[in-house]
Structure 1
Amino acid sequence: MVSESIEKIVQWRKKETLLNVTLKKYLRGKLVSKIEYFDTPLGEKIIIYCARPRLVLGRANERLNEIVRILKEQLGFKNPQVEAVPVDNPLLDANIVAELIATRLEKFGSKAARKIMIRLAEQIMNAGAKGVEIKITGKVIGERSSTIRYALGYMKKSGEVNKTGIRKAVEIAKLPQGVVGVQVRILPPETKLPDEVVLKEIYEINPEELERIDPEIAKRFKESMEG
C-alpha cells in the first residue's frame, strides 16, 4: 500500500517535470515561473504561474488552443483545464528574472550583458529584495569562457538561509558564439536572517513571550511597567 502511494507520487512528479520542460520550451520568452497540475473529477487542472497571463495565453486566448493541443498530443492529458495566474512580484521570482536575462542576452548580445545585469539587479532591490546575485558564464567577454558577476545587498552563501530562504534559478541563452549560462539568486524580503536584530517599542512587547525567552528580564520588565 505504501509502495503504491510512493509510486504514484514519483509518477506524478515525473509528469509535472516533463510538463514544465515541454510547456516552458513552447512558452519561452513569455516569463513563466513554474507550472503545476492537479487531477480533479473534471479533468487535469494546469496552473501556469507567470508575470503576465495575457502574454502566456494571448490577448484573445489564441495561444490557449495550442497549449491544450501540446498537453493532449505530447503529454497524454485527456481533459486539461488551463489557467494562467500572475505571481505576486515578478522581479522577486528567480525563474522569471533568469529567463528575462537570457532572452535579453539573445536579443541584444553579450556586449550588453553587464548593462542588463546592473539594471535588473537595481530593479530587484527596488522591488523589496534584501539581496541579489546574478552570474553569466560562457563566452561573454572575448573568445574564452569566463564568468561575470554582479551583486547588490546581502547574500547568504551557507547555512539554513542558503538552503531554504534564497530563491534560485538557472537558465541558458543561445548566442552566436555559443551557449551562455545564467544563474540568479534572490534573497526575498520575507526571509529572516539569523543575525537580523528587530527593535520593538515597549508597547509591542508580549510579556508571555518574554517570560519564555528570559524569566529574569521578564520580571524586571513587569516591575518597570508597574512602577
Structure 2
Amino acid sequence: MAGQVMQVSKKRKFINNGVFKAELDEFLKRELAEDGYSGVEVRTAPTNTEIIILATRTQSVLGEKGKRIRELTSVVQKRFGFTENTVELYAEKVAVRGLCAIAQCESLRYKLLGGLAVRRACYGVVRYIMESDAKGCEVVVSGKLRGQRAKSMKFTDGIMIHSGDPINSYVDRAVRHVLMRQGVLGVQVKIMLKHDPRGKQGPKRPLPDNVTVLEPKEEDYHQGVPSSEQKQQHDTLGQHGPGNPAGVPPPGQGVQVQ
C-alpha cells in the first residue's frame, strides 16, 4: 500500500488549489503590505509551479541581489510541502496602479493610519482612480469616523454596475481593515474598468447593453430614394402591372356600369 499512488478527485483537486491560493494570498498580504502587494497568480505545470507576485514596488519585493525573493521561496516551499526546485517566485509590476483596487485600498489604509482626514484621503483616492482612465469608482469607509457612533461614508464618481455577470470582469474590488486608536475601520474600494479590445486595461468582452451601429452596405443603400417611396412604387406596379401604371383599360374594352 505504501507504493500505491493516491487518486484525487477533480472536486478535491479544485478545493485544494483554492485553499492553497487563499492561504498564499493571506501570507503575502501580511508580508508585502508595505511593498504595494496587489495580488498573486499561480501557474501550475507538470514539473514545477510558478507563483507571480503582482506589486507596485517590485524592487522591494526582490530585495538586494534577490535575497528577499529567495527567502520567500524557501518559506513557501517548506510551508506547502513542495520538493526542492519545483516552485519558483517571480515579481511583476502592476501595469496601471490607478486601476488596481488592492493597491488603492492599501494606499488609503496607510493614509488613514498616517492621520489624514477621512474625507480628504478618500477624495484623493477617487481623483487618482478617475485620472487613471477608469469608468467609475466607489470608496466606502465604515466605523467610528468621528465620535463614538459608527457610521459609513461613501464617495463615488463615474459609472458603477452592481449586478449581473459583467461585475465579475468589469469591477475590481478590495476590502481592508484599519486598526485605529478608536476602533477598527472597514475600507472598501471598487473600480469599474473600461472596455478594452486589447484586453490590457479592461475586459475584451463588451457590456451586454452596448449597442454597435454598423454602416450599411453600398449595394443595399439607394441614394435619394426613401424606403417608403420604394414600397409605394412596388405596390402600384403590383396592382396595375408594369405596362399600365395608371390602371387605364386597354383599347376596345370599356368599363361596365350597372
Structure (1 or 2) with the larger CA radius of gyration: 2
Change (3 A) 1:199 1:123: farther
Q: Which of 39, 47, 64 is matched with 2:69 structurally?
A: 64
Alignment-derived partner of residue 173 in structure 2 = 168
- Say whether 1:142 aligns with 2:140: no
Query: Is the strand fraction higher in 1 or 2?
Result: 1
Change (3 A) 1:176 1:12: same
Tell me, yes or no, if the aligned pair for 1:132 and 1:186 is still in contact at 8 Å: yes
Alignment-derived partner of residue 253 in structure 2 = none
Distance 2:209 2:188 in 1: 26
* Identity score, percent: 27
Runs of 4+ aligned residues of structure 1 deviating over 6 Å after TM superposition are none
Tell me, yes or no, if the aligned pair for 2:28 and 2:37 is still in contact at 8 Å: no
- Say whether 1:115 aligns with 2:107: no
Q: Residues 47-196 of structure 1: matches in 2 within 5 Å?
A: 47-78=52-83, 79=85, 80-106=87-113, 108-109=114-115, 111-190=116-195, 192-193=206-207
Higher mean alpha-carbon deviation, 166-175 vs 186-195, is at: 186-195
Tell me, yes or no, if the aligned pair for 1:44 and 1:77 is still in contact at 8 Å: no
Distance 1:222 1:59 in 2: 67
Change (3 A) 1:103 1:69: farther
- Higher RCO (C-alpha under 8 Å, 6+ residues apart): 1
| Deviation at residue 129 of structure 1 after TM alignment | 0.4
Tell me, yes or no, if the aligned pair for 1:29 and 1:100 is still in contact at 8 Å: no
Query: Is the helix fraction higher in 1 or 2?
Result: 1
Q: Which of 46, 61, 73 is matched with 2:51 structurally?
A: 46
TM-score, with length taken from structure 2:
0.71
Distance 2:139 2:90 in 1: 31
TM-score, with length taken from structure 1:
0.79
Q: Structure 1: which 5+ runs fail to align?
A: 208-219
